[in-house]
Amino acid sequence: MFRRTPKIFAASLAVAALALGACAEKTSDTPAASDNPSAATFPVTVGKLTLEQRPEKIISLSATATEMLFAIGAGPQVTAVDDQSNFPADAPKTDLSGYQPNAEAVAAKNPDLVVLSDDRNKIVEQLTTLKIPVYQTPAAQTLDDSYRQITELGILTGNATEAADVVQRMKDDIAKLVAEVPQRAERLTYFHELGPELYTATSKTYIGSIYALAGLENIADAADADGKNGGYPQLSQEVIVDANPDFIFLSDVKCCQQSAATVKARSGWAALTAVQQGQVVELDDDIASRWGPRVVDLLRTIVDATAKAAE
For residue range 39-59, list pLDDT tens digits in order: 469 999 999 999 999 999 999
Asked if the bond preceding 182 is cis, omega within 30° of 0, the reply is: no
Q: Measured between alpha carbons, how far is 132 from 160 in angstroms, rounded to an integer?
A: 22
Q: Measured between alpha carbons, how far is 152 from 50 in angstroms, rounded to an integer?
A: 12
Pairing mode, strands 217-218 and 134-136:
unpaired
Statement: the pTM of the whole predicted model exceeds 0.85: yes
* 163 SS3 class: helix
Q: What is the pLDDT of residue 1?
A: 37
Domain edge (last residue) among 174, 205, 235 = 174
- Does residue 272 sit within a domain? yes
Binning the chain into helix, strand and coil, the percentages to the nearest 5 are 40, 10, 50
Residue 220 and residue 244 in one domain: yes
Res. 30: pLDDT tops 50 = no
Per the CB < 8 A criterion, the answer to whether 304 and 180 are in contact is no
Residue 169 and residue 200 in one domain: no
Q: What is the pLDDT of residue 243?
A: 98
% of residues, the chain, pLDDT over 90: 85
Q: What is the pLDDT of residue 309?
A: 86
Q: What value does the mean pLDDT take over residues 98-125?
A: 97
Q: Measured between alpha carbons, how far is 44 from 279 in angstroms, rounded to an integer?
A: 48
Residue 16 and residue 148 in one domain: yes
Q: How confident is the model at residue 20 (pLDDT cuts 50, 70, 90)?
A: very low
The closest of 189, 179, 220 to 306, measured between CA atoms, is: 189
Residue 18 and residue 154 in one domain: yes
Q: What value does the mean pLDDT take over residues 118-130?
A: 96
In whole angstroms, how far apart are CA 298 and each of 94, 102, 212, 291, 293?
27, 32, 13, 10, 10
Domain edge (last residue) among 174, 199, 225 = 174
Q: Measured between alpha carbons, how far is 186 from 273 in angstroms, rounded to an integer?
A: 15
Residue 170 and residue 193 in one domain: no
Residue 42 and residue 22 in one domain: yes
- Does residue 1 sit within a domain? no
Residue 163 and residue 17 in one domain: yes
Res. 193: pLDDT tops 50 = yes
More confident residue, 212 or 27: 212
Per the CB < 8 A criterion, the answer to whether 211 and 190 are in contact is yes
Res. 219: pLDDT tops 90 = yes
Q: How many CB atoms lie within 10 A of CB 83?
A: 15
Q: What value does the mean pLDDT take over residues 123-128?
A: 97
Res. 192: pLDDT tops 50 = yes
Residue 43 and residue 152 in one domain: yes
Q: How confident is the model at residue 62 (pLDDT cuts 50, 70, 90)?
A: very high
Strands (E) in 97-194, as ranges, are: 113-116, 134-136, 189-193
Residue 75 and residue 157 in one domain: yes
The CATH number of the domain holding residue 89 is 3.40.50.1980
The residue range of the domain holding 34 is 6-174
Task: Tell me how many domains the chain contains.
Answer: 2
Q: What value does the mean pLDDT take over residues 229-246?
A: 97
Residue 160 and residue 186 in one domain: no
Residue 32 and residue 151 in one domain: yes
Question: Within 13 Å, how many C-alpha atoms sit on residue 195's CB side?
Answer: 17
- Does residue 98 sit within a domain? yes
- Does residue 161 sit within a domain? yes
Q: What is the pLDDT of residue 245?
A: 98
Q: How confident is the model at residue 310 (pLDDT cuts 50, 70, 90)?
A: low
**Pick from 18-27, 113-122, 281-290, 294-303: least confident:** 18-27
Domain edge (last residue) among 126, 149, 174 = 174
Q: Measured between alpha carbons, how far is 65 from 78 in angstroms, rounded to an integer?
A: 11
Q: Measured between alpha carbons, how far is 276 from 125 in angstroms, rounded to an integer?
A: 53
In whole angstroms, how far apart are CA 200 and each of 8, 216, 240, 241?
12, 15, 11, 15
Q: What is the pLDDT of residue 311?
A: 59
Q: How confident is the model at residue 179 (pLDDT cuts 50, 70, 90)?
A: very high
Res. 24: pLDDT tops 60 = no
Q: What is the pLDDT of residue 17?
A: 36
Residue 26 and residue 126 in one domain: yes
More confident residue, 23 or 53: 53
